Structure 1
C-alpha cells in the first residue's frame, strides 16, 4: 500500500513538472515546429520537421531568471531564438546566448560573436543586418559588430 502512495506522489510530481516550465512554440520555417521548455537553468529544445522529432537539453550557468527572445538573429528570413539574463553581478548588463536555425539539418546552432566571449548588451540592427554587443578590452568596454555571410533562403 505504501508503494502505491509513493508511486502516485511521484507520478503527480512528474505530471506537474511541464506545467512549471515556460513553454514557447514557434515555426522557424514552414513545416517546422520548435518548442522551447525553459525550467530554471535548463532548456529542453524540441524540433519537429517532416515528421522527424529531435530533442536536446541545454544547460545555462545563471543565478538570475532566464528569458527567451525570438527574432531573426542572422537575417536569413528564418526565426531563431536567444536565451538571455541580466548579469549575476550588479545587474547592469544583459547576456545573450543565440541559437540560429539550420534548415539543412532542422537543428539550431549556437552563434558566437565576432569578438569577446559572449553577446553582452545585445542590439539587433535589422537595417544594417548586424548584431551589436559589448566586450571588454585593455582600456574598458568596446563595441563588437557581428556580420553574417549572405545566404539564400
Structure 2
C-alpha cells in the first residue's frame, strides 16, 4: 500500500517501474528526462536521484545482473551519436545497506551493447581497444 501512495505522487509524464529486489523490500524507479529517482521502501529513507548525461530516452531493465538471486536494475539508452550502440549503467542490490550500488565492467568504460549470459553467469559487453571493438566478460563471483 505504501508504494501505491508513492506512485500517485510521481511526476506527470514520468515513467515509473516498481519491483521487489528481495522479499518484503519494494523499489521504485521514476525516469523523468535525464534523471532517475530511486526509492527503496525501507525505514523512512529519502529517495535519491541519479543524473544521466543523456540526450536520448532512458529505459529501465530489471534482471539479476550479478546472479545472486536478487533483482537489480539497469538504466540504458541509445548512444547520443549515430544511435548504433546501447549504453547501460548497472545497479546491484546490496542487502546489507538495502540500497543499490553502481558497478563497472571488468574492462572498458561502461557496459556497451550489454548481453546477459545466464548459463555462464557473466555479462558480455563491448569496449574499444587499440585494434577496434573488443569483447569484455564481467564476472561477479570474483569480487
Q: Same fold (TM over 0.5)?
A: yes
The alpha-carbon deviation at position 20 of structure 1 amounts to 1.3
> Is residue 2:125 matched to residue 1:141?
no
Count of paired positions:
136
TM-score normalised over the length of structure 2: 0.90
**Distance in 2 between the 1:93 and 1:123 partners?**
12
Write out aligned runs for 1:43-122 (5 A): 43-49=36-42, 51-122=43-114
SS at match of 2:37: strand
> 1:20/1:72 Cα in 2 relative to 1: closer, same or farther (>3 Å)?
same
Runs of 4+ that moved beyond 4 A: none
TM-score (norm 1): 0.84
Q: Which runs of 5+ in 1 are unaligned?
A: 1-14
RMSD over aligned CA atoms reads 1.7
Bigger radius of gyration: 1
Q: Deviations over 1:21-75 (max 9, x none)?
A: 10000000001000100000011100012x4434101000011111000000000
Unpaired runs of at least 5, structure 2: 1-7
